[in-house]
Amino acid sequence: MAILSAIVFGFAIAGLDPLLNLSTAMTGFGAVGLMALLATTSLAVAVFFWRRGERRLAYTLAPAAAAVALAVATVLALANYPSLTGSTSDVINNLPYLHIVTIVVGVAVALYAKRNRPQAYARMGSARIDE
């Protein structure tokens, strides 16, 4: 709740209507983030199976093609972000840069864990439940 309050407060300070501008801004922000995440996941699937010697169409080529298509869609969404959000506000139209910050922080945490906490790194992304 505190994060949402901070976001609404930030929109109000920027002189934007927290209800009218917030919904379109967050929809665009979420859409771009989701497309980038799906592109990255598709690429990861293709690389995962390629490294294991699986060269079948469904395991490598289809996810790689999806990664390319989703990456193109993400670039197009970013290029047309003001149209996507319907806003000319710099505050709203610079929101996608927060995705880059999040990616950099996530990679930094993973690299730190890989070097200094290999057991924690090995558990990252696993679905194992320790009882």
> Whole-number mean pLDDT of the chain?
89
Q: How far is CA 94 from CA 19, 49, 78, 99, in A?
A: 18, 36, 10, 10
pLDDT digits (tens, 9 = 90+) for 88-124: 888 889 989 999 999 999 999 999 999 999 998 888 8
How far apart are the C-alpha atoms of 93 and 117, rounded to whole Å?
38
Sequence ranges of the domains in the chain:
24-123
42-51 long-range CB contacts below 8 Å, 24 or more apart?
42/66, 42/67, 42/70, 43/67
Q: What is the pLDDT of residues 60-71, one digit of tens each?
A: 999 999 999 999
pTM given for the model: 0.77
How many C-beta neighbours within 10 Å does residue 55 have? 10
Longest dimension (CA), the chain: 55
